[in-house]
Amino acid sequence: MNNLKMMFNLAAVGLLAVAAQNVSADVAKAGTYAIDAGHAAASFSVSHMGYSNLQGRFNDIGGTFKLNPKGKNEIEFIIKTASVDTNHDKRDKHLRSPDFFNSKLYPEMKFSGSDVKFNSKGEITRINGSLSMHGKSKPVSIKVKALRAAKDPWGFYRVGYQAETTIKRSDFGMNFMKDGIGDEIALNISFEAIKQ
Amino acid sequence: MQIQILMQTLLLPFLVSAVGYKFLPVRFVMSGVLIAWLMSYAWMLGHFPIVPQGPVEQLWVFLSLAVIAGFFIEKKPYVILLTVLYVAGLLSFSWPIITYEIKLPFMLELVGFVFAGGVLSYFKTQNQRPALTSALNFSCLGFVIAITGSLLIGQIAISLAAAMGIYAIFELKNKLKIPQIKHDSLYMLSLMFLLLIFIARVYAELDFYVTMLMVTASMIAFYSSKYTTIVLAAVIYLAAIVFIFINASGSSYY
């Protein structure tokens, strides 16, 4: 009976230890991080004449952030507009043209934020900042879901997030063909970052 | 959407220009064309770019300054001023590229465009159908740009053709013997053509060979004094369009 009780206690302690590890694994440590471009993806979705939502992505994304739940936070994402990819060369060329992104004139879109919201566990839930795109800057709020924060198999401390927001391209001066191509664009960014 | 495109690109500039033809004195011909085009241009952009951002929004500055200057300056000083405005326009359009990522091929093309404008300013034209020439040039340019890279820049070019439309019609009606606009205006419009194609080349990735064909055709058209040369220009434009279709890849995505 005593052995059974001891085994039960050990199991309970073990479960608690695992649970505690899972909780602390999602709370990123304070510090400076660089986005791992090889594990970062920015995708978007926009209505095509109401028939469907065209899916596209940007292949060149980077940035850094300083995380400090008890102090100052700074986040910056940079996406190269010329890296737009909708799986159609001709359409991508059109998107890079002055009709839409005007990539030669505005080669980057940048999100900068320092207003970071955390939940009670210390996980990021929202980032409020400014999106600069197409020569204009507008305040944008990005919803964030923390996925994991832990040491990876190569010894780096790695964090992962899923972020999403919706913007209106007309707010940034992209007014062409609003009747055909939707004004609202859903942005989805999935990224990993490595602590420096 | 198609009706809106037709209205803003063709109907509006043509009709406003036709009203100008009917009611404005002869010396205000280009003013009427300018107003017709500006209305169409602002509609296409969705706003009037009082503070231009980028080359497409700077186009109205060149044309407006050129037309206004024409009231105060004539002949050789006017040609010199237009050339200066043209080069300034090219440099302004190039500036974001030069500051971001300067490359030798780009600089060579820029010099090529300056040279083309210089040739037009130096050698006089005897073209007796300047309005028709301009309408042809801008129509072909607009069509080519619209199918290869930028519908917006294509519309801007075609709307200029439409604004010249009424004058082209009257040149045809007079059997191409009575020019409806002055040679200085043809020079101004030819420089506008070069500026448009430069923007399309740099910002909308217009193919190099298509660009060369279009510039060559426009210069031949500028200097055409016989029917054969205007036909030659039209053939070269057609060659550019055929070149595009031969090299076109992928299905339509509209």
pLDDT exceeds cutoff 90 at A20:
no
| pLDDT for A23 | 41
DSSP single-letter state for residue B11: I
Distance (Å) from the alpha carbon of A67 to chain B's nearest alpha carbon: 31
CA count, 13 A, side-chain hemisphere, A168: 7
Residues of A with CB under 8 A from a CB of B: 88-91, 93-94, 96-99, 102, 104-105, 107, 135, 173, 175-180
| B chain contacts of residue A102, beta-carbon cutoff 8 Å | 54, 203
**In the structure, what pLDDT confidence band is assigned to residue B254 with cuts at 50, 70 and 90?**
low
Contact A90 B249 (CB under 8 A): yes
pLDDT exceeds cutoff 90 at B115:
yes
- Stretch B207-216: mean pLDDT: 94
**In the structure, what pLDDT confidence band is assigned to residue A29 with cuts at 50, 70 and 90?**
confident
Contact A97 B47 (CB under 8 A): no
**In the structure, what pLDDT confidence band is assigned to residue A14 with cuts at 50, 70 and 90?**
low
Contact B205 A179 (CB under 8 A): no
Scanning chain A, the segments in alpha helix (DSSP H) are 2-25, 89-96
Scanning chain B, the segments in alpha helix (DSSP H) are 2-6, 12-23, 29-45, 55-69, 75-100, 104-122, 130-148, 151-173, 183-203, 208-223, 227-247
| pLDDT for B224 | 85
**In the structure, what pLDDT confidence band is assigned to residue B166 with cuts at 50, 70 and 90?**
very high
Contact A98 B151 (CB under 8 A): no
Residues in chain B: 254
With contact defined as beta carbons under 8 Å apart, do A84 and A95 qualify? yes
- Stretch A17-44: mean pLDDT: 76
Q: What is the mean pLDDT of chain A?
A: 88
Contact B54 A105 (CB under 8 A): yes
Select the residue of A99, A105, A175 nearest B150 (Cβ to Cβ): A99
User: pLDDT tens-digit profile of B118-152?
Assistant: 999 988 888 888 999 999 999 999 999 999 989 99
| pLDDT for B247 | 81
Looking at the predicted complex, does its ipTM rise above 0.90? no
Distance from C-alpha of B159 to C-alpha of A111, rounded to nearest angstrom: 37
- Stretch B94-116: mean pLDDT: 91
Q: What is the mean pLDDT of chain B?
A: 91
Q: What are phi and psi of A25, to 5 degrees?
A: -65, -25
A55, A80, A86, A90, best to mutate vs chain B, most B CBs in 10 Å: A90
User: pLDDT tens-digit profile of B47-85?
Assistant: 999 999 899 999 999 999 999 999 998 888 999 999 999
DSSP single-letter state for residue A53: E
**Rg of chain A on CA atoms, in Å:** 21
Contact A104 B202 (CB under 8 A): yes
Task: Give the angle subtended at the CA of A74 by the CAs of A69 and A78, to the nearest 5°.
Answer: 135
| B chain contacts of residue A91, beta-carbon cutoff 8 Å | 253
User: pLDDT tens-digit profile of B15-26?
Assistant: 999 999 999 998
Tokens of A84: 């737009």
Distance from C-alpha of A49 to C-alpha of A180, rounded to nearest angstrom: 5
A47, A96, A99, A168, best to mutate vs chain B, most B CBs in 10 Å: A99
Distance (Å) from the alpha carbon of B54 to chain A's nearest alpha carbon: 7
Share of chain A above pLDDT 70, in %: 89
Alpha-carbon dihedral A134, B40, B222, B170, rounded to 10 degrees: 170
| A chain contacts of residue B45, beta-carbon cutoff 8 Å | 175
| pLDDT for A26 | 63
- Stretch B27-47: mean pLDDT: 94
Share of chain A above pLDDT 90, in %: 69
**In the structure, what pLDDT confidence band is assigned to residue A24 with cuts at 50, 70 and 90?**
very low
Distance (Å) from the alpha carbon of B94 to chain A's nearest alpha carbon: 10
Distance (Å) from the alpha carbon of A188 to chain B's nearest alpha carbon: 23
| pLDDT for B249 | 63
Calculate the CA A149 to chain-centre distance. Answer: 15
| A chain contacts of residue B7, beta-carbon cutoff 8 Å | none
- Stretch A144-162: mean pLDDT: 92
A88, A102, A169, A170, best to mutate vs chain B, most B CBs in 10 Å: A102
pLDDT exceeds cutoff 80 at A22:
no
User: pLDDT tens-digit profile of A42-90?
Assistant: 999 999 988 999 999 999 999 998 988 888 899 999 999 999 999 999 9
| pLDDT for B126 | 84
Distance from C-alpha of B63 to C-alpha of A50, rounded to nearest angstrom: 38
Distance from C-alpha of A8 to C-alpha of A14, rounded to nearest angstrom: 10
Select the residue of A88, A96, A176 nearest B250 (Cβ to Cβ): A88
Contact A88 B253 (CB under 8 A): yes
Distance from C-alpha of A161 to C-alpha of A191, rounded to nearest angstrom: 6
Q: Are strands A108-118 and A74-80 parallel, antiparallel or unpaired?
A: antiparallel
Closest residue, chain A, to B253 (C-alpha): A91
Contact B153 A98 (CB under 8 A): yes
Contact B149 A94 (CB under 8 A): yes
Distance (Å) from the alpha carbon of A139 to chain B's nearest alpha carbon: 20
Query: For the whole model, what pTM was predicted?
Result: 0.86
Tokens of B78: 């006017």
Contact A96 B153 (CB under 8 A): no
Closest residue, chain B, to A170 (C-alpha): B46
Name the more confident of A151 and B251: A151
- Of the candidates A181, A165, A138, which has an alpha carbon nearest to the alpha carbon of residue A44? A165
Distance from C-alpha of B181 to C-alpha of B82, rounded to nearest angstrom: 16
